[in-house]
Structures are given as structure tokens and as C-alpha cells.
Amino acid sequence: NAGVTQTPKFRILKIGQSMTLQCAQDMNHNYMYWYRQDPGMGLKLIYYSVGAGITDKGEVPNGYNVSRSTTEDFPLRLELAAPSQTSVYFCASSYGRQRGVGTEAFFGQGTRLTVV
Amino acid sequence: KQEVTQIPAALSVPEGENLVLNCSFTDSAIYNLQWFRQDPGKGLTSLLLIQSSQREQTSGRLNASLDKSSGRSTLYIAASQPGDSATYLCAVRQDSNYQLIWGAGTKLIIKP
């Protein structure tokens, strides 16, 4: 089982460059999430999606954009990279509340991004 | 606003000891609580999920308890091993908006 797959694993960007972090899941989960994790901190929600075509902002959305054209894919776009976006990014997926109990969240391996 | 706190931030114990990691939350209106393990440079691995109606869950040497009324969860690790060394994160899924709110984690080191 592939689960949640993120690419790339590592990336170095120069200030002002753009990039897209890819995320795909094969569990038919309707909910997908993007988090960032800074050293010594808990995960912060950037954006989330409750289904194809539906996205919403999380706690720290500034500087990012997302799209959800299919159930499987949820890419995260950084348009103008800034040093403050240096972090580890995690994609996750889960079933929504309507599935009932057992809504465990599954995570990708993360993308370590450095902006210089 | 829901806040999740994990104490201690770091813990170092000799191999073989039983230990308890703590997670506290400020709003008891939760849907579930999940414990994760994170190894350096790796993703998050789900360990245990406790529904709001449950009191505890067990998996092998791990036991997680939930006391919603007091806003507390504990992760009990029996007979610790060096391979248990990792950062342990707890996350509360809110009942209101279904979002996961995270603690900062407890970094656990098991000394051989």
C-alpha cells in the first residue's frame, strides 16, 4: 500500500522562486491536509480540502496556494519563496466525519524545504 | 481556542523502564485523539487513535488513555527499548470543525 506519497523529499529554493509540492493518496480519502512543522513546534495547518474542488485556509495560509482537481491529488504551491517558508512540509489524508468512527489521519514522509 | 500541551518536552530513561507521556488539551469537545511517532527526518506514524467515547486503546506495549472531562491523555510505554527513541506527538481532532490541533511533542531517548 502506497498510502500518502509526497515529492520531492528535499528542496533548496532561492528567494523569489516558485515550486509545487506534490501529494497523492490512494486510500480514497475525501479529506486532505497540508501542514508545516518548524523546529520544536507542533504542526500548523496551511490548507485543507474536504473533497475534489473544495479547499479552505488553515491557520497559516499566507504565501501558499492549493488546488484539488481529483480525490487523489492535493498539490501545494509556493509562489514567491521567502526564508520564513523554510520548514518541513507534511501532507496528510483521512476520511471525513460522515464515515463515522475511526477517522485516522495518515501522513506522507515530508518535504524538507530550505529557502536561501 | 483549543490548545494542546505535551509535558515533558524531552525525556531520557534507561532501557527496560515503563514510562508515561502526557498530553493535555483545553477544550473537551473533541472528536478523537491520536498519538503519533516521528523519527528524525521521517514522517509521522500513527500509533493509537482514541474516539471521544473511549477510555483507552492498546497496541502491543503501548496503551493510551483518555479522560475528556479533565482534558488529559497519557501514552504508556511498557518495557522500553532503544528502538522506542523518537518524538511522540499527540493531536486532538476538534468536534466543532474537525481540525487536528497538535502538541509540540515529547522527545524520548531510551538509553541502552
B46 contacts in chain A (CB < 8 Å) = 104-107
Per-residue model confidence as pLDDT tens digits over B23-40:
999 999 999 999 999 998
pLDDT (0 to 100) of residue B40: 84
Q: What percent of chain A has pLDDT over 90?
A: 83
Name the band, by pLDDT with cuts 50, 70 and 90, for residue A54: very high
Q: How far is B43 from chain A (nearest CA, A)?
A: 4
pLDDT class for A56, splitting at 50, 70, 90? very high
DSSP state of A100: -
Q: Is B29 left (phi over 0), alpha (psi -120 to 50) or beta?
A: beta
What is the rounded distance in angstroms from the CA atom of residue A54 to the CA atom of residue A67? 8
B98: left (phi over 0), alpha (psi -120 to 50) or beta: left
Confidence (pLDDT) at B50: 93
What is the C-alpha radius of gyration for chain B, rounded to an integer number of angstroms?
13
Provide the residue type at B5 as one letter: T
Averaged pLDDT for residues B104-108: 95
Cross-chain Cβ contact B91/A43 below 8 Å: yes
Q: Between B42, B99, B105, which is nearest A45 by CB?
A: B99
The cell numbers describing A25, all together, are: 493518496
Pick the residue of B6, B25, B44 with the most A CBs within 10 A to test the interface with A by mutation. Answer: B44
Lateral strand order in the sheet of A19-25: A4-7, A19-25, A76-78, A64-66
Q: Is residue B105 within 8 Å of residue B21, measured between CB atoms?
A: no
pLDDT at A102: 57
Within 8 A of B41 by CB-CB distance, chain A residues are 110, 112
Q: What is the reported pLDDT for A39?
A: 82
DSSP conformational letter for A92: E
- Residues in chain B within 8 Å Cβ distance of A23: none
The predicted-structure confidence for B30-76, as pLDDT tens digits, reads as follows 999 999 999 987 889 999 999 999 999 999 999 999 999 999 999 99
Please give the pLDDT value at position A101: 55
**A32 inside 8 A of chain B by CB:** no
